[in-house]
Amino acid sequence: MGRTIARRLVDAIPTLLLVLTLVFVAMRILPGDPALAVLGEHATQAQLAEFRRKIGLDLPMWQQYLSFIVNSATFNFGNSFANNFSVSQLVRLNLPYTVELTIAATIIGTVIAIPVGVASAVNRGKAIDSGSRVFSLIGYAVPDFFLGAVLLIVFALNFGWFPINGGGDGFADRMWHLALPALALGLIKAAFVSRLTRSSLLEVARKDYVRTARAKGASERRVIYLHALRNALLPVITGLGLSILSTLSGSVAIELIFGRPGLGSMLVGAIETRDYPVIQAGIVVFSLFVVLVNLAMDIIYTLVDPRVGDVA
């Protein structure tokens, strides 16, 4: 397993370098002048030139690129153009909110999806299977930000059961603020993973070893959970990995809808003001998340089926 993890980490280096390069290029070709965005329309040309010199935009492009790569590798993102606040500190303040939202939504999605998928596969063609498929179709069709807005209007604005915005202060209050955003993301992901669980389990249920277990007199519960489900988990794990990544991307809209702090809302605010250091830091952190999630999926693959590590 150690060699598999090391190989995955080495493979991630070119990916991260490519992402960093794309981020750097994108920031330079986007319309808008960060100096003008920070200083305002009434700034003189001398003031604009001095600001560009101060933040290094007057340097040759290759020097800016090398400085960006070195600083990103050491997580030294400098200060925000907008308020001169440490970007690394901004990331540390916002990162926990995005992480807890992603974890909570993934737990909700998994706890709902796998039992629903198993029940649907075991009761194929029955009412529970039809209900599961309708749930999956609705989940595919409804965007997470739309579901988030509906939950916000119904349970926060109309019933007043949950707070309208903010991230909360203290564990209990943070969980209360987290409930609706995590539910909005978790239900959408559950629809996808439950469908995948159903399909994978139905495929495995036709294998010879499952029929052999039944022929030996094993109970249906033992056949499903001991013999079939474990072997059906590999594609489900893939689905969970994709679900986590889509949850990260969906957290941007959810954080805006619920007025939550987080990397997503931080990133959107930085894009509006052309705040290069904050934008670059946000995308770098999101990219690291992608690498870490993929690495975690590889480790889980190996634990579920050691043959995967041998092949890799």
- Residues 6+ positions from 13 with CB-CB distance below 8 Å: none
Cβ of 283: how many Cβ atoms within 10 Å? 21
What's the CA gap between 253 and 184, in Å, rounded?
A: 11
Which of 259, 263, 238 is CA-nearest to residue 100? 263
What's the CA gap between 105 and 246, in Å, rounded?
A: 11
What's the CA gap between 217 and 298, in Å, rounded?
A: 35
pLDDT, one tens digit per residue, over 180-192 is 888 888 888 888 8
Position 82 confidence tier, pLDDT thresholds 50, 70, 90: confident
- Residues 6+ positions from 203 with CB-CB distance below 8 Å: 232
Domains of the chain: 89-311 (1.10.3720.10)
Q: Is the pLDDT at 92 greater than 50, yes or no?
A: yes
- DSSP annotation of 160 reads -
What pLDDT does 306 receive?
A: 56
- Stretch 50-78: mean pLDDT, rounded? 78
- Residues 6+ positions from 222 with CB-CB distance below 8 Å: 213
CA atoms lying within 13 Å on the CB side of residue 70: 6
What's the CA gap between 22 and 16, in Å, rounded?
A: 10
Among 57-61, 224-228, 293-297, the minimum mean pLDDT is found in 224-228
Q: How many residues does the chain have?
A: 312
Among 32-41, 53-62, 108-117, 131-140, the minimum mean pLDDT is found in 32-41
DSSP string, 219-262: -HHHIIIIIIHHHHHHHHHHHHHHHHHHHHHHHHHHHHHTT--S
- Residues 6+ positions from 29 with CB-CB distance below 8 Å: none
Which of 182, 179, 225, 173 is CA-nearest to residue 204? 225
What pLDDT does 238 receive?
A: 75
